[in-house]
């Protein structure tokens, strides 16, 4: 996800709605040529886009635009948004609305009662709507050791994982960097999240590997994707540094990363979660989709 303030503001708006609870100056050198911008997508990648990154675009308009690009899904939409997505034939690839926020999460027993109540309400709603992935967060470390964080998360999540299994819903914990955007967040390395998944021992708990965040905190992106892919249910993209366009202005080479993801046999969604700097934000999104459509 984005900066702490923008992420907080976006989630606050989305959670309230659930009741529960400019053209780029240049096409990147490795992007598809301009004359093929409108070519059909290849079908190897399940593309999605995060709603909050385009929050200034009315949802109906955004749905029409992304459908025109060939996308079939949208990320980080709650129950209030689902009717609009359904109207446009878009899938909610990562649901939200059960979390408290990014800092008060499953690693602290003080928040377990509220989280358990929220997730017990939301899990059936996700299933009834025909969706699968529901986001969750570790929360801030607040002085806890890794062991304390794992133990607390397991104790809390075990109270709802059975319900998730019953409804075929996957609780997906996002990996966020604690170096720049989310100071003190505990699930800030892939190995930490994978260890939590091992301890829970359920196929209904997985990780959201945010490429931007993990490049900042640990790097070695392709190696870690290859190593930990059995625990990963979802991916987010963005450019490093700055969380902007994934073009040749930043340090990551997304074609190689997407190729590595596909090589693991991944069949889930890869969602664009960058904050456009260009005046034509939707053109930036088109460019990003082309870069990632291998």
Burial annotation 237-259 (CB, 10 A radius, 16+ → b, else e): bbbbeebbbbbeebebebbebbe
Q: What pLDDT is attached to residue 21?
A: 43
Please name which of 161, 75, 168 lies closest in space to residue 119, comparing C-alpha atoms.
161
In a domain, 192, yes or no: yes
Residue 253 lies in a domain: yes
**Torsion on CA atoms 158, 160, 165, 166, rounded to nearest 10:** 130
Instruction: Report the distance separating Cα 202 and Cα 170, nearest Å.
Output: 9
Task: Give pLDDT tens digits for 154-187.
Answer: 999 999 999 999 999 999 999 999 999 999 999 9
Look at residue 5 and tell me if it is in a domain.
no
Single out the catalytic residue among 99, 218, 245, 273. Answer: 273
In this prediction, residue 10 carries a pLDDT of 52
| 117 among known catalytic residues | no
In this prediction, residue 58 carries a pLDDT of 96
Q: What is the CATH number of the domain that holds 275?
A: 3.20.20.150
Distance (Å, whole) CA 98 – CA 121:
8
Query: Residue 18 above 70 pLDDT?
Result: no
Classify residue 116: in a domain, yes or no.
yes
Residue 28 is assigned to a structural domain of this protein: no
- CB neighbours of 191 closer than 8 A, spacing ≥ 6? 228
Please state the rounded mean pLDDT for residues 249-271.
98
pLDDT digits (tens, 9 = 90+) for 34-84: 334 567 999 999 999 999 999 999 999 999 999 999 999 999 999 999 999
> Has residue 17 been placed in a domain?
no
Q: Under DSSP, is residue 94 helix (H, G, I), strand (E, B) or coil?
A: strand
CA angle 191, 163, 225 (to 5 degrees): 20
Burial class (CB in 10 A: 0-12, 13-18, 19+), 167: middle
Name the pTM for this structure: 0.88
Would you place residue 7 in the very low, low, confident or very high pLDDT band (cuts 50, 70, 90)? low
Looking at per-residue pLDDT, the higher value among 39 and 237 belongs to 237
Helix (H) or strand (E) segment spanning residue 173 = strand 170-174
pLDDT band at 276 (very low <50, low <70, confident <90, very high): very high
Q: What is the dihedral of CA 94, 95, 97, 99, to 10 degrees?
A: -50
Three-state DSSP class for residue 172: strand
pLDDT for 282: 96
**In this structure, is residue 38 part of a structural domain?**
no
Phi, psi at 99, each rounded to 5°: -65, 155
CA of 85: how far to CAs of 149, 234, 285, in Å?
36, 19, 18
Q: Determine the structural domain holding residue 210 and report its residue range.
A: 43-292
Tell me the pLDDT tens digit for each residue of 180-221.
999 999 999 999 999 999 999 999 999 999 999 999 999 999
* Residue 211 · residue 257 · CB < 8 Å: yes
Number of domains within the chain: 1
> What number of CA atoms fall less than 13 Å from residue 140's CA on the CB side?
13
Active-site position among 35, 165, 174, 245: 174
Q: Rounded to the nearest 10 degrees, how much is the dihedral formed by the CA atoms of 140, 144, 150, 155?
A: -90
Query: What average pLDDT does the structure give for the chain?
Result: 91
Does 120 score more than 70 pLDDT?
yes
- Residue 151 inside a domain? The answer is yes
- Cβ-based neighbours of 166, under 8 Å, separated by 6 or more: none
Phi, psi of 140 (to 5 degrees): -75, 150
Distance of alpha carbon 88 from the chain centroid: 21
Tell me, yes or no, if 33 is annotated catalytic.
Answer: no
């Amino acid at each position: 996800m984005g900066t702490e303030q923008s992420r907080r503001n976006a989630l606050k708006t989305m959670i309230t709605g659930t009741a529960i609870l400019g053209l780029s100056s240049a096409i990147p050198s490795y992007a598809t040529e301009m004359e093929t911008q409108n070519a059909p997508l290849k079908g190897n990648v399940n593309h999605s886009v995060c709603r909050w990154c385009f929050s200034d675009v009315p949802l109906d308009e955004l749905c029409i635009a992304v459908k025109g690009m060939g996308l079939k899904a949208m990320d980080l939409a709650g129950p209030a948004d689902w009717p609009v997505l359904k109207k446009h034939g878009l899938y909610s690839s990562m649901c939200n609305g059960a979390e408290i926020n990014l800092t008060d999460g499953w690693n602290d027993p003080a928040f377990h009662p509220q989280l358990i109540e929220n997730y017990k309400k939301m899990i059936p709603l996700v299933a009834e709507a025909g969706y699968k992935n529901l986001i969750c967060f570790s929360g801030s470390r607040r002085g806890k050791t890794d062991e304390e964080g794992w133990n607390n998360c397991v104790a809390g999540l075990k109270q709802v994982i059975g319900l998730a299994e019953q409804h075929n819903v996957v609780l997906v914990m996002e990996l966020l960097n604690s170096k720049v955007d989310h100071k003190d967040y505990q699930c800030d390395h892939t190995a930490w999240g994978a260890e939590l998944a091992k301890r829970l021992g359920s196929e209904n708990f997985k990780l959201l590997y945010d490429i931007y965040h993990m490049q900042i905190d640990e790097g070695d992106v392709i190696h870690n994707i290859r190593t930990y892919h059995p625990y990963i249910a979802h991916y987010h993209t963005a450019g490093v540094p700055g969380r902007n366009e994934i073009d040749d202005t930043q340090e990551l080479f997304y074609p190689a990363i997407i190729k590595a993801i596909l090589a693991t046999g991944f069949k889930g969604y890869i969602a664009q979660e960058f904050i456009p700097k260009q005046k034509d934000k939707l053109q930036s999104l088109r460019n990003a989709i082309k870069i990632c459509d291998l």
